[in-house]
Amino acid sequence: MINSFRMRIIATIVLLFNFMFFTQLFAQNSTNGIFLEDGDTELHASLLGGNEFKKTAVSFITFGAVPSERIPFLLNASSGNNIKNQSFVFSFSNNDPFSDTGTFDRGFRDSKSPKEFILLRLKTNKRRNHRQIFKQKTSWQERVVAALVPFTSEQVEPGVFSVTPNSTLEAGEYCFVHQDILNAPIFSDFAFYDFSIEK
Measuring CA to CA, which residue among 67, 40, 52, 61 is closest to residue 138? 67
Q: Examine the domain organization and report whether 167 and 109 are in the same domain.
A: yes
Beta strands in the chain (DSSP E): 33-36, 46-47, 50-54, 69-75, 82-83, 88-91, 117-125, 130-132, 135-137, 142-144, 148-149, 151-157, 160-165, 172-178, 191-197
Specify whether 182 is located in the same domain as 87. yes
Total domains, the chain: 2
Same domain, 131 and 158: yes
Check whether residue 142 and residue 158 sit in a common domain.
yes
User: Do 135 and 48 reside in the same domain of the chain?
Assistant: yes
- Residue-range definition of the domain harbouring residue 177: 32-197
State the pTM of this model.
0.74
Instruction: Identify whether residues 175 and 105 lie together within a single domain.
Output: yes
Task: Assess whether 6 and 45 both reside in one domain.
Answer: no
pLDDT digits (tens, 9 = 90+) for 41-56: 899 999 999 988 776 6
Q: 117 and 48 in one domain?
A: yes
Output the tens digit of pLDDT for each of the chain's 199 residues: 455 545 455 444 433 333 333 333 333 434 789 999 876 789 999 999 998 877 666 555 655 555 567 788 999 999 999 998 899 999 997 665 555 544 568 889 889 999 999 999 999 999 999 999 887 665 455 666 668 899 999 999 999 999 999 999 999 999 999 999 888 877 888 999 999 998 7
